């Protein structure tokens, strides 16, 4: 396990799916965690559970598309734990639809959460890390940035934009001691994925089994698979990994087009 003990980490979208797995893993590994999301009850319960186990975890209720919320969450991390060593910019939303069915409300939601949220997080986290002379920001992107998934046009575009953001930040700010990395999950068993199955003719379990058969490792990913990779990327063990995207898709990208 990569060493995050004593590190202060902010996780956005930290109370469900991948974010929840990261919150639990990092806190139980000795990190001082601030977990942020718009799921107030779930966030309070998660933080209370981890504190009850003797770990450092604080929940902040906030929306990553709201600059004041992002700023306040970062200030909370610094005020509570004295510094900000790492950020997992993980908050995201998904809408399955063809571009011809897109509404402006859908557009603004996906771009505001998936892209603007990452931008605002970096805007306020980078100055803290610059003062420290060290830090790491990891983004959650998606294989939808690389594969033309049906009815994922805007989602895929928003995630591809996050990759471009990450690489530009690397050239701008890594000379000041800050690393920028990303994880690109494939099909991961999360509540967001389950919600995307609503309205299909077959139950979720049947759909999941069919998908698993198509993945070379013959299973879907679990949130903990991603959390372990993020923990490594945020740690000093990954100190020479910078401006890179780690694919976590069980071999999906290796599949031939037939």
Which DSSP string do the residues of the chain spell out, in sequence order? ----TT-EEEEETTTSHHHHHHHHHHHHTT-EEEEEES-HHHHHHHHHHHHHTT-EEEEEE--TTSHHHHHHHHHHHHHHHS---EEEE-------B-GGG--HHHHHHHIIIIIIHHHHHHHHHHHHHHHHT-EEEEEE--GGGTS--TTBHHHHHHHHHHHHHHHHHHHHHGGGTEEEEEEEE-SB--HHHHHHTTT-SS-HHHHHHHHHHHSTTSS-B-HHHHHHHHHHHHSGGGTT--SEEEEESTTGGG----
Alpha carbon distance 174, 49 (integer Å): 36
- Tell which residue, 132, 151, 134, 152, has the closest CA to residue 142: 152
Would residue 208 show up in a list of annotated catalytic residues for this protein?
no
Active site residues: 155
């Amino acid at each position: 396990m990569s060493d995050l003990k004593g590190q202060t980490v902010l996780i956005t979208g930290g109370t469900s799916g991948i974010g929840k797995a990261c919150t639990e893993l990092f806190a139980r590994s000795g990190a001082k965690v601030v977990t942020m999301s718009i799921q107030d009850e779930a966030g309070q319960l998660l933080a209370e559970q981890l504190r009850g186990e003797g770990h450092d975890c604080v929940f902040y209720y906030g929306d990553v598309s709201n600059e004041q919320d992002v700023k306040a969450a970062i200030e909370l991390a610094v005020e509570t734990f004295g510094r900000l060593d790492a950020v997992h910019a993980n908050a995201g939303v998904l809408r399955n639809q063809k571009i011809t069915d897109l509404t402006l409300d859908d557009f603004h939601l996906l771009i505001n959460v998936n892209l603007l949220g990452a931008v605002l997080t970096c805007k306020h986290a980078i100055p803290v890390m610059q003062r420290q002379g060290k830090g790491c920001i990891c983004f959650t992107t998606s294989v939808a940035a690389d594969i033309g998934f049906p009815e994922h046009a805007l989602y895929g575009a928003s995630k591809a934009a996050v990759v471009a953001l990450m690489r530009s930040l690397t050239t701008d700010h890594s000379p000041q001691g800050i690393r920028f990395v990303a994880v690109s999950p494939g099909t991961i068993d999360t509540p967001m994925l389950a919600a995307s199955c609503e309205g299909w003719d077959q139950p979720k379990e049947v759909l999941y089994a069919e998908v698993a058969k198509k993945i070379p490792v013959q299973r879907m990913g679990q949130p903990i698979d991603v959390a372990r990779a993020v923990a490594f990327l945020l740690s000093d063990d990954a100190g020479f990994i910078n401006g890179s995207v780690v694919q976590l898709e069980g071999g999906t990208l290796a599949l031939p087009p037939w």
